[in-house]
Structure 1
Amino acid sequence: MDVVGKVMGSFNAEALKEPRGFIKILQWILSIFAFATTTSVNTQLSFYAKCPDFMEMVRQTTSVSYPFRIEDQTYQMPLCKNGTSPDVSSASYVGGSASAAEFYVFVGVIVFLYCMAALILYIFFDEQYRKNNLFSIGDFVVSCVLTALWLISSAAWAQGLVNLKYDTDLKESDLYRRIPDCVAYTCHQDVMPNFASLNVSIIFGFLNMVVWGGNLWFLYKETPWFKVRSKPPTTPTQSQETDPQRI
């Protein structure tokens, strides 16, 4: 209880008024938007085949959601089943962007947790942060790494989203050429996945990178490297100036 009392007694919200404090809150919020707009997507794609018997339409609907493993989704084969057709089996789509999406979300979650830890450090241990150079140096170095991770993960996820859009556009990805029924008859995709939220997630990713990069200057000013460079040069003492032997 004494330890808890000491920690609560050291509560100091003044750090939140400094750039390193209120920018950290902004980074915490932006990280939530980044991974939430990625993991919350649950959309569908659907295509149908016009089978020859009375122009029957057979529709195949597939769910598309995080982590976007399109290659794990299946559709039935053959689409148009008649008395002479073999038993229905499953075939898989081609593509997917799971690795890029998971890496992007991983970075977002790590940043979310680090921002919470940094805010606790600023609010409850601000005195130790200012006295111990290891805290300020560590904060600056970790922020440099996270800035780079935002750039890498956002670029990778942007390319992953381009691939995902291509793989779920069945006409562009030439899926119909791999389905015998679509070659013999006619197939159409009537439902395209809605990736509006994923487009926003890309924007949040690069926005996070910009905010983290801009905050590096304020964190650098807290390190001893900046304080040494900004320290004014020493001037001669009065005794040195008046001592004739030193002239």
Structure 2
Amino acid sequence: MEAVGQVASAFNGRVLKEPRGFIKIILFIVAIFAFATTTSFKTSSSLKTRCNNASNPWKEVVYDYSYPFDLPSVAVVINCNGTSTSYYLGQSETTPAQFYVFVGVIAFLYCIGALILYIFFDDLYRKNNRIVIGDFVISVVITALWLIASSAWAQGVSDVKFYTDPSESGLMQIIPECQHVPCQVGHLGNFASLNVSIIFGFLNFMVWAANLWFLYKETPWFKVRSKPPSSPEAGPPQQPPTNQY
């Protein structure tokens, strides 16, 4: 209980008014939006076929896909004349999607830890240069990870759009039922959520990059450089003259 009381007494809400404090709150929020818009994604596409006979009515084949975008496991089932045949989508985009979410979760958790450090252990933070430098270095790493993950995920979203489009991906070309009577695209997936996730990814990178300047100002490297240089020509301080009698 005594330890809890000491921690509670060390509460310093004023840190949240400083750049390093309120920027962490912003980073906490945008990290949630980044990985939430990715993991909650689910949509579907479809194609229409007439089963080798132009006089047959159109049959729409719908296939769903979602996070983590293991597209080779998504089956497109064509049922014609009582026979069902399954075809599968293109390459998996699981790696860039999961890496992007991993970076988002890591950034989210680090923001929580940093805010606890700033609010309850601010004296320790200011007096211990190792903690200050560690905060800065970890933030540099997370900033770089956001750039890498966002760039990879932007390409991943582009690939998901391509491989789930039955006309662009070549899916229609490998389905025999589409050779005699050309198939049509029924509808394409709604990728608004994934487009937003990309925006939040690069937004995270930019805010983390801006945050580095304020963290750098807390490091001893900046404090040493900002000290006014002492002039070697000034010599030792002069003693005031004494009265001679």
TM-score over 0.5 for the pair = yes
CA apart distance, 1:90: 2.6
Q: Which runs of 5+ in 1 are unaligned?
A: 243-247
Where do 1:86-101 residues align within 5 Å? 87-101=83-97
Q: Which region of structure 1 is more displaced relative to structure 2, 180-189 or 205-214? A: 180-189
> Which residue of structure 1 lines up, in the alignment, with residue 125 of structure 2?
129
Letter of the 2:19 partner, please give it.
Answer: P
Matched letter for residue 168 of structure 1:
T
After TM superposition, list the pairs within 5 Å mapping 1:36-185 onto structure 2: 36-51=36-51, 52=53, 54-77=55-78, 79-81=79-81, 87-185=83-181
Work out whether 1:186 is the aligned partner of 2:186.
Answer: no
Deviations 1:74-132 (A, max 9, x none): 1225x4225xxxx5343311123211111111100000000000000000000000000
Query: Is this contact kept in 1: 2:45–2:62, CA < 8 A?
Result: yes
Closer/same/farther in 2, CA of residues 241 and 234 from structure 1, 3 Å limit: farther
- Looking at structure 2, the residues matched to 136 and 150 of structure 1 have their Cα atoms a distance apart, in angstroms, of 21
Amino acid at match of 1:178: I
Structure 1 equivalent of residue 24 of structure 2: 24
- Residue 222 of structure 1: SS of its match in structure 2? coil
Which amino acid letter does the alignment assign opposite residue 75 of structure 2?
T
Partner amino acid, structure 2, of 1:73: V
Question: Conserved in 2, the CA contact under 8 Å of 1:64 and 1:193?
Answer: no
Show the counterpart of 2:219: 223
Q: CA separation in 2, counterparts of 1:3 and 1:101?
A: 42
Task: For residue 168 of structure 1, report the CA deviation from its aligned partner.
Answer: 1.1
Cα distance between partner residues in 1 of 2:161 and 2:8 = 51
Query: 5+ unaligned residues in a row in structure 2: which ranges?
Result: none
SS at structure 2 position matched to 1:238: coil
CA contact (8 A) 2:54 2:181 kept: no
Counterpart in the other structure of 1:238:
237
Aligned to 1:35: 35
After superposition, the C-alpha distances for 1:15-47 in whole angstroms (9 at most, x for unaligned) are 111110011100101101111111111111111
Alpha carbons of structure 1 residues 172 and 241: separation in structure 2 relative to 1, 3 Å = farther
Q: TM-score, normalised to structure 1's length?
A: 0.90
Match of 2:198 among 183, 199, 202: 202
The structure-2 alpha-carbon separation of the partners of 1:239 and 1:38, relative to structure 1 and needing over 3 Å to count, comes to same
SS in 2 for 1:186: coil
RMSD: 1.8
Name the CA distance, whole Å, in 1 between partners of 2:80 and 2:41.
31
**Number of positions where the alignment pairs a residue of Structure 1 with one of Structure 2:** 237
Q: Is the contact made by 1:39 and 1:67 (CA closer than 8 Å) also made in structure 2?
A: yes
Report the alpha carbon displacement of residue 61 of structure 1 after superposing the two structures with TM.
1.2
Instruction: Return the alpha-carbon distance in structure 2 between the equivalents of residues 76 and 109 of structure 1.
Output: 36
Q: Compute the TM-score of the two structures, normalised by the length of structure 2.
A: 0.91
Q: Which is further off, 46-55 or 60-69?
A: 46-55
**CA–CA separation in structure 2 for the residues paired with 1:40 and 1:165:** 17
Is contact 1:49-1:182 (8 Å) kept? Answer: yes
